[in-house]
Amino acid sequence: MTSTTLTSEQRAVVIAKVERLWRKARSTTFAAEAKAYEEKALYLMARARITDAMLDLESTSDSIVDVKVGATLAGGYRIPAEALFDTVCTAFGCRGYLYVSGRTSQPAAVGFASDVDRVKFLWPFLHADALAAAGQLRGRTAAHTMALRRSAMFGYAEAIAQRFDEINRIASSDADHGSDQSDSDGPLQRSDRASSGIGTELVVRARKERVDDHFAGLGVRGRTRRVSGGHGGHQHGHSAGMSADLTGGSRRVRGGGGELTS
């Protein structure tokens, strides 16, 4: 294995491509086109992670960090928000946990610094989007409304997890088979190719084990509670998550979110 990771110039090229795709996703009025740009931006981020891992697993240039992320969570929608935070951490090979004080919690992430940066970038507006999507629901009573909205947020988190899983699977499969879709702005090409079982899977697993070992040494518990909060709003939240704007741009859900506190 070589002793170099991506150079600063190579990283700058990747960042520039991602930002260009974000801008295109934000500017288009066509949902399908915007989703294609979003997926390609996430694909670039996934391939950059894989490239770093494959080039130098033992590199010290991208150290493991432990940082608090975003604002403190509180209120009736705190627990589904915690589930969504855990989803974003998992997507980038990080471990999420909580500083809990009474009925509030402060999310924190353990992972390679570059991966934690991705979590810090995506988490705030995905959280806001989930709250806004849930806020569109109203039940027969205040308790029913809260149950519907909590359920919607869990559905949203599940959808986001599905989208990330698919992007990461495509990026890993491409890396295993020596192909790369980074140079085209077109939609990602899905493939039924099975993993080759070499290289990528083993190295990414080893990278995750380093994060897990570091996390274990902290002596803290991961996010564990996963309750449904009712089922009535689950499909609404899931649909919102499947169409969520992952760039933080203009297609974020609007309406109703102001009523919710996290």
Per residue in 144-197, pLDDT (tens digit) is 888 888 888 898 888 888 888 888 888 878 877 777 777 766 677 776 665 555
Q: What is the pLDDT of residue 13?
A: 66
Enter the DSSP assignment of 230: -
* pLDDT at residue 87 greater than cutoff 70: yes
pLDDT-above-90 percentage for the chain: 16
Q: Residue 140, SS3?
A: coil
Angle of the 234-242 helix axis to the 113-134 helix axis, nearest 10: 130
Enter the DSSP assignment of 222: B
Contacts for 224-227: CB closer than 8 Å, 24+ residues apart: 225/79, 225/82, 226/83, 226/154, 227/79
| Comparison of pLDDT for 193 and 116, the residue scoring more | 116
pLDDT, mean of residues 110-134: 85
Give this prediction's pTM: 0.73
Kindly give, in sequence order, each residue whose CB lies less than 8 Å from that of residue 133, ignoring residues fewer than 6 positions away. 152, 153, 156, 236, 237, 240, 241, 244, 253, 257
* 47-65 residue pLDDT tens: 777 766 655 544 555 689 9
- The confidence band for 74, taking pLDDT boundaries of 50, 70 and 90, is very high
Please say whether the beta carbons of 138 and 66 come within 8 A.
no
- The confidence band for 28, taking pLDDT boundaries of 50, 70 and 90, is confident
* 4-18 residue pLDDT tens: 445 556 666 666 776
- The confidence band for 229, taking pLDDT boundaries of 50, 70 and 90, is very low
